[in-house]
Amino acid sequence: MNAGQQKFQSFILERVQEDKIGEAEDLLAESFQKQADRTFDQAYLTSFMPRMKALLKPEHVEEVDRIMQEFGSNFVR
């Protein structure tokens, strides 16, 4: 995991429902592995976003959605 991924993971885990942290860690590990394998693409991002948003505390969904949308708009593969 690189420094940017560590920062993103910390950011997300602070906003995840306490009982969903394990699921969020697994989902993040999956996405980081796809990045390492170079199989992370727009289709994967589209499936990742709703799964991650479902794990968030309600008051953080909008904030994280904006960040993921921004990342998605800048994502080129």
Domain ranges of the chain: 3-74
φ, ψ at 55 (rounded to 5°): -95, -10
Q: Return the residue matching tokens 């080129």.
A: 76
Question: Is the pLDDT assigned to residue 76 strictly greater than 60?
Answer: no
Q: In this structure, are residues 64 and 12 in contact, taking their beta carbons and an 8 Å threshold?
A: yes
Q: What is the pLDDT of residues 6-31, one digit of tens each?
A: 999 999 999 999 999 999 999 999 99
pLDDT of residue 75: 65
pLDDT of residue 52: 96
Q: What is the pLDDT of residues 32-75, one digit of tens each?
A: 999 999 999 989 998 999 999 999 999 999 999 998 888 777 76
Question: Is the pLDDT assigned to residue 77 strictly greater than 70?
Answer: no
